[in-house]
Amino acid sequence: MLGREAEESAVLTVAQLMCAAARTAPKARGMDDIETRILREEKERLANKMEEIGRQYDVPFFIRDADNVRRSLVVVLIGTRITPHNLSPCGFCGFANCQEMQEKGGICAFSLNDLGIAVGSAVSIASLHHIDNRIMFSAGYTALRLGLLPPEVKVAFGIPLSCTGKNIFFDRR
């Protein structure tokens, strides 16, 4: 196996380990609402849509991030369903209780916290294996718009992975 083949294989293995880390990350009340997916062939479609959104809404960082997605080997998606955790007293979401949150279309703070912990666990795996990565709101937002995660997933992040002599996620335009 040539060096480049070994590096690509390592990146795919790390992506799989990242999904496992997201799955096993601690979650409030033990409720697992996390969904993961690894994009390889679909990453060009993701990058194209990111550029489209960047132009449509005049957000240049979507276009910049699309370039990073294209140059990466894979993109790990990590998202969450929004499930009320029915903790009382709470109100972290800004509403009086879970019922009011649901009626008014709010988002459970515990679901978002669990997502943050899962993403942190996943990128720690990439870091431990010296695989360059970047957490991207833009990639997660676009993946949801493309339906790359189940429809009940409401918030997601994309994490492109790269293994090159220079980290592609630094010195970005």
Domain count, the chain: 1
Q: Are strands 132-133 and 34-39 parallel, antiparallel or unpaired?
A: unpaired
Which residue bears the tokens 């910049």? 64
- Which CATH number fits the domain that encloses residue 10? 3.40.109.10
Q: Is 118 among the domain residues?
A: yes
Q: Residue 81's closest CA among 108, 54, 51?
A: 108
141 CB contacts (<8 Å, ≥6 apart)? 53, 156
Q: What's the domain range around 59? A: 3-80+112-162
- Strands (DSSP E) along 22-121, which ranges? 34-39, 74-81
Q: Residue 152's closest CA among 88, 85, 83?
A: 83
pLDDT along the chain (173 residues), means of 10: 89 98 96 97 97 98 97 98 89 91 92 97 98 98 98 97 92 69
Q: Is 102 among the domain residues?
A: no
- pTM for this predicted structure: 0.94
In whole angstroms, give the CA distance from residue 146 to residue 45: 9
